[in-house]
Each structure stands twice: as C-alpha cells, then as structure tokens.
C-alpha cells in the first residue's frame, strides 16, 4: 500500500496530500513530499495514470509510474461521476496540499478547481502543473517534455556537430518541473506557518525548463548569438577500452591537460591560448586530443589525470554508477522491493532528512484502508462503490 506509517520525525509528517496529477512532473513532486513524511493519496482514473503506460509495464507499473509514485497510496475515483467529485471535495477539506495536471479549464469543469476546493479549506495549498501555464496565448497548446525542450531553447542549445538539434533523453523538463513544484509547495508551506493561509501555484513545464537554463539565457544575451561550449576542449574521448570525459573550468587547467598528455606544444599555441580561441578552433584541437587519448586505456589516462587534479572520469552507464564502490559506501543508492518487479536501486534524495525510497503502489492497492483512514463508514464505502464513484481493487 506504500508508506502508510510515516516516521513522525520527518519534516512533513502529519501532512496529507491529495495527488490528482498524472505523468511524471507533478507526480514526482508529490513523491518527494511523501519521502519527507507526508501521507500522499494518489487519485487515479479506472484505467490508471497514463504514466503507467510509458515504458515496459510489469505488475501494473512502469519506470515512470515507479519514479512518480514512490511512497504513495492509491485510490481509483471517477471524477466524471458527481459522487466521485463530492468525495474528492470531502477528502480535500481535511488535506493540506492538492496537485493536478489537467489542461487549463478542466479542473474548473470538474469542480475540483482552486476556488471550489479552497472555499471550505482556506489553508489548502493547490498546485496546477501544465505545459504553458494557465494564461497566455499558448496556454491551450498540447505540451510534453520534448515540446518544452524545443520551446525553451534546450534543443537548439544541444545541437551536435552534425548540425542537428538533439533531444535530451533524461526528460529534463519533467524532472525540473517536479523539483520546482516541490520547491514552490515547500515555500507555500513555510508561508502558511506565518500567515495561516494556503494559496494557488500555477507552474508550467516550459517555465521550469527555461529557468533551469538560466545561465545559457544570460550567455545568449551577454555574448550574443547561439550558445557555445564554455570550456573547449571539454568532451567525451574514446580510449582504447572505453569512453572518458575530460573537462576544465579555469584557464590553467588547459596547460595541466596538455602537460599530462605530453602535448605541451599546444600550451603557447595562439590558437588555443584562451577559452574563446579554443572555441574558435575546437575541431582541430579535439582531433589532436582524441588521437592521443586513443593510444592508451581509460585507466591509464584517469590515473595520470587524478594525480594532476584534472577533471576527468570514465563515462558510466547507470549500471556502472549503481555498482561503484563510492556510491555503495556513501549510501547514495537505496534499494527497495517493488512487487512484481523485484529489487530496485534508486538514487537517494540529496541532503538527508528524507526517508529511504519505497515501493510505488499498483492501481488502488490498499484502497479500502484509505477510505477507512479518512473516516468513511462501511455503509458510506458501500454507497460510493455502488454509485461507481470509487472502484475498489479487492486487495
């Protein structure tokens, strides 16, 4: 059923969250609230959150639904049913936070908009997550992580040497949206401790991923034109047995790299004296370094670079990271058993104060217990299910 018994020492212990959002962005914000101790009740339609259909589905969950719903409880409610909407209103009357991610206007048509739900609960913090926000000429445009990348300039910024703008495959708009949503809710909670009032948060994927790139927007205006690499010849290079990354953040780092690779003739070459000069001559510089890297193993270069304080690492895949001794010794990964899937290793929440990652629920798992927890009698539960407003899984 997820994390029902919360550690009372966690920062958000005692708070109740009603999560009507779908996908990854807003749900991941609610999952973060759960990790910090809140009791999060995931409200799903009969078919489930559409995030359960992204990727390979095992035992009712995918990678998206696991990442977005860890630590929650799940309840299936038909929001098109008037009894279902009335039930949500009853739930929210005693809740602290409400999240939804429907298109602008949908929550109002369903009667679960902020004015309606906050009328009897002025301390409610209500977050709406959409692609372009609740206002403006683009508010009704369909949006996704990829669309947000394109709109925000991220795709253009990630144009490769092939001249093609490349989509970033780690769904950064959804992830950034979830983090900014968690941040905004946290600040609203802090404000509520002083004022006693809740509030409405209008957060969009496109604004989230734009703010995430703030330094590149500053670069575009200060330096002019399309963003360029800050620190040539930083990049990935193929050693004899695998890829490594080499990077630099100060001018003197370039001389250290050249010395370590026995390429000292490049240090005083006018084509490579500054970051700007290296950027203008990057193709030839990268070719020279790539040819030298290819002559030795990855470990050979990494040992030399480490001795000279040069920023470098083997290019890991996710399995490499999970198996790294540093990750293990610093408890940077947490393992939990996901029913029907098995053990999953998940990166620990940075900064501490959060509980360990825990399983994500299947649709409606433990739902009868949720209804009793929120104060419904057996008669009321029977009436809700008979009306079709609530669907019990039988678990």
Q: What is the pLDDT of residues 212-252, one digit of tens each?
A: 999 999 989 998 877 666 799 999 999 999 999 999 999 99
Q: What is the pLDDT of residues 161-177, one digit of tens each?
A: 788 999 999 999 999 99
Q: What would the two tokens of residue 341 be?
A: 């899937």
352 confidence band (pLDDT: 50, 70, 90): confident
**Token digits of residue 160:** 């490769």
* Three-class SS state of 126: strand
The set of residues, in sequence order, having a beta carbon less than 8 Å from that of 358 and lying 6+ positions away, is: 2, 3, 70, 71, 336
Report the C-alpha gap between 300 and 359 in whole angstroms: 41
Token duo for residue 329 = 């010794």
CA distances from 250 to 62, 220, 274, 280, 287 (A): 43, 21, 10, 17, 21
Average pLDDT over the chain, rounded to whole? Answer: 93
Q: Which residues are catalytic?
A: 174
Q: Which helix (H) or strand (E) holds 73?
A: strand 73-77
For position 6, what pLDDT does the model report?
A: 54
Strand 125-130 relative to strand 97-100, pairing: parallel
Confidence of residue 204 (pLDDT cuts 50, 70, 90): very high
Give the gyration radius of the chain's Cα atoms.
Answer: 25
Distance of CA 218 to the CA centre of its chain: 24
Tell me how far apart the alpha carbons of residues 330 and 134 are, in angstroms, rounded to a whole number.
Answer: 42
Long-range contacts of 198-201 (CB under 8 A, 24+ apart): 198/118, 198/121, 198/122, 198/123, 198/124, 198/125, 198/126, 199/125, 199/126, 200/114, 200/118, 200/126, 200/128, 201/125, 201/126, 201/127, 201/128
Tens of pLDDT, residue by residue over 94-103, are: 999 999 999 9
Q: Give 50's DSSP letter.
A: G
Q: Where are the domains of the chain?
A: 16-214+332-391, 235-321
- pTM to 2 decimals? 0.92
Statement: residue 209 has pLDDT above 70 = yes
CATH topology of domain 16-214+332-391: Rossmann fold (3.40.50)
Alpha carbon distance 27, 129 (integer Å): 10
222-231 long-range contacts (CB < 8 A, ≥24 apart) are 226/156, 226/157, 226/159, 227/156, 227/157, 228/279, 229/279, 229/282, 230/275, 231/275
Residue (of 87, 142, 139) closest to 112 by Cα position: 87
Does position 282 have pLDDT exceeding 70, yes or no?
yes
What is residue 161's predicted lDDT score, i.e. its pLDDT? 72
- Distance of alpha carbon 60 from alpha carbon 362, whole angstroms: 6
Question: Which pLDDT tens digit goes with each residue over 361-378?
Answer: 999 877 888 999 889 999
3-state secondary structure of 53: helix
Q: Rounded to whole angstroms, what are the CA distances from 234 to 257, 279, 280, 313?
A: 10, 10, 14, 12
pLDDT at 7 over 90: no
- What kind and span of H or E run contains 212? helix 205-212
Structural contact between residues 51 and 24, judged by C-beta atoms closer than 8 angstroms: yes
CB atoms under 10 Å from CB of 321, counted, come to 14
What pLDDT was estimated at residue 2? 39
For domain 235-321, the question of CATH label 1.20.120.1200 is answered with no
Contact present, 244 and 301 (Cβ < 8 Å): yes
Give residue-wise pLDDT tens across range 112-142: 999 999 999 999 999 999 999 999 999 999 9
How confident is the model over 320-345, as pLDDT tens digits? 999 999 999 999 999 999 999 999 99
CA 171 vs CA 24, 185, 393: distances in Å? 9, 21, 31
Q: What are the pLDDT digits (tens) for 49-91?
A: 999 999 999 999 999 999 999 999 999 999 999 999 999 999 9
Burial label for 131, CB within 10 Å (0-12, 13-18, 19+), is buried
């Amino acid at each position: 059923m997820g994390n029902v018994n919360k550690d009372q020492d966690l920062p958000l212990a005692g708070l109740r969250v009603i999560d009507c959002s779908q996908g990854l962005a807003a749900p991941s914000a609610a999952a973060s609230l759960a990790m910090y101790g809140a009791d999060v009740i995931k409200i799903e339609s009969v078919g489930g959150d559409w995030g359960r259909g992204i990727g390979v589905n095992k035992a009712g969950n995918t990678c998206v639904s696991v990442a977005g719903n860890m630590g929650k409880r799940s309840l299936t409610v038909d929001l098109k049913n008037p009894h279902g909407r009335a039930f949500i209103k009853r739930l929210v009357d005693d809740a602290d936070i409400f999240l939804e991610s429907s298109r602008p206007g949908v929550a109002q048509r369903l009667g679960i908009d902020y004015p309606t739900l906050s009328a009897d609960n002025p301390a409610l913090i209500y977050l709406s997550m959409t692609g372009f926000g609740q206002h403006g000429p683009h508010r009704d445009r369909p949006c996704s992580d990829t669309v947000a990348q394109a709109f925000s300039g991220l795709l253009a910024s990630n144009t490769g040497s092939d001249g093609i703008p490349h989509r970033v495959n780690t769904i950064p708009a959804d992830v950034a949206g979830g983090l900014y949503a968690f941040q905004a809710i946290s600040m609203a909670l802090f404000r509520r401790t002083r004022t006693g009032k809740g509030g409405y948060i209008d957060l969009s994927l496109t604004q989230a991923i734009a703010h995430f790139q703030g330094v590149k927007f500053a670069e575009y205006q200060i330096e002019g034109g399309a963003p360029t690499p800050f620190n040539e010849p930083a990049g990935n290079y193929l050693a004899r047995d695998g890829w490594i990354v080499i990077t630099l953040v100060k001018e003197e780092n370039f001389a250290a790299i050249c010395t370590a690779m026995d390429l000292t003739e490049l240090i005083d070459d006018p084509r490579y004296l500054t970051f700007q000069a290296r950027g203008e001559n990057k193709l030839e510089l990268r070719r020279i370094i790539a040819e030298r890297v290819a002559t030795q193993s990855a470990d050979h270069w990494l040992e030399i670079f480490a001795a000279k304080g040069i920023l470098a690492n083997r290019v890991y895949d996710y399995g490499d990271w999970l198996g790294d001794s540093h990750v293990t010794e610093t408890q940077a990964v947490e393992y939990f058993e996901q029913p029907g899937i098995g053990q999953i290793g998940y990166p620990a929440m940075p900064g501490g104060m959060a509980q360990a990652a825990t399983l994500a629920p299947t649709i409606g798992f433990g739902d009868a217990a949720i209804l009793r927890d929120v104060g419904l009698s057996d008669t009321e539960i029977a009436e809700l299910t008979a009306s079709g407003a609530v669907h019990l899984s039988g678990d």
